[in-house]
Amino acid sequence: MLYGYLAWYQSELGGSNILIGVTVFVQACYEAPMMAISGWIIRKVGYHGCMLMCLLSFGIRFLGYYLMVNPWFVLLIDVVHSVGYGLFYASMTNFAFEKAPAGATATLQGVLGATYEGFGQGLGGIAAGFLYQAYGGRTTWLGYSIFSLAAAAFYARNHFGREYFAVAVCLYHQNNSSDNLAQHA
């Protein structure tokens, strides 16, 4: 969606070719520092926390595009590009490095990169093309925002919800076990 339709959308809003070029440059400027500090963030929040941040950043970013009336605002909105791309890519490659069997690190990094860059962007681009043609750019960005935010909620619920549920169950059983021991003593 981003790579195929953002420039088109900017043009529809009256953006110049210069703005489109500046946008690509600014995105790279935002993502480079994020990649530099990504190791620290990954250690603090883990891979799943990073993935959740990435999904949320896409949802916020796409919502910003939906609300955007001045094409120059893209330069402010794209601050979150650092998380959606910079942190995601660093997390993905670090995850592959840690989880790959010995000797297969580069292969797994390549498979994950191809899945994101090829399959993900390809499928997203085809869907966006149909939606863009049927509903226009603004509505398509809103749809992608809702999809990203829903994916973030689903991811958080399925990953973090299970962890917190398991902790709560353990604490419940621990408390009940100590209460039962006190009653029988």
Q: Kindly report, residue by residue over 25-74, the tens digit of the pLDDT.
A: 999 999 999 999 999 999 999 999 999 999 999 999 999 999 999 999 99
Q: What is the pLDDT of residue 31?
A: 92
Residues of the chain where predicted confidence (pLDDT) is lower than 50: 180-182, 184-185
Structural domain spans, the chain: 2-151
> What letter represents residue 64's amino acid?
G
Q: What kind of fold does domain 2-151 have according to CATH?
A: Growth Hormone; Chain: A; (1.20.1250)
- Residue 14, sorted as left (phi over 0), alpha (psi -120 to 50) or beta, turns out to be left
Torsion of CA 124, 4, 79, 20, to 10 degrees: -170
Whether 10 contacts 23, CB under 8 Å: yes
Q: What is the pLDDT of residue 113?
A: 84
The model carries a pTM of 0.82
Q: What is the pLDDT of residue 165?
A: 56
Residues 6+ positions from 107 with CB-CB distance below 8 Å: 100
Q: What is the pLDDT of residue 120?
A: 83
